[in-house]
Amino acid sequence: MTESLLTSTLTLGGGCFWCLEALFKRLPGVISVQPGYAGGKSTTTTYQEVCSGTSHHAEVIQITYDPKTITIEALLDYFWKFHEPTTLNRQGPDTGTQYRSIILYQNAAEQATAIDSKNAAQRHLSATIVTEIVPLIQFIPAEAYHHDYYDRNPQAPYCQSVIAPKINKAFH
The domain locations on the chain are 8-171
pLDDT, residue 149, reads 98
C-alpha distances in angstroms, 39 versus 9, 20, 45, 62?
16, 17, 11, 13
User: What's the average model confidence in pLDDT over 66-83?
Assistant: 97
| In contact, 37 and 57? CB cutoff 8 Å | yes
Return the CATH fold of 8-171.
Peptide Methionine Sulfoxide Reductase; Chain A (3.30.1060)
Residues 6+ away with beta carbon under 8 Å from 83 = 14, 15, 19, 20, 91, 101
User: What's the average model confidence in pLDDT over 93-117?
Assistant: 97
Q: What are phi and psi of 11, to 5 degrees?
A: -115, 125
List pLDDT tens digits, range 125-156. Answer: 999 999 999 999 999 999 999 999 999 999 99
If pLDDT is split at 50, 70 and 90, which confidence band does 41 have? confident
Indicate which residues carry an active-site annotation.
Answer: 16
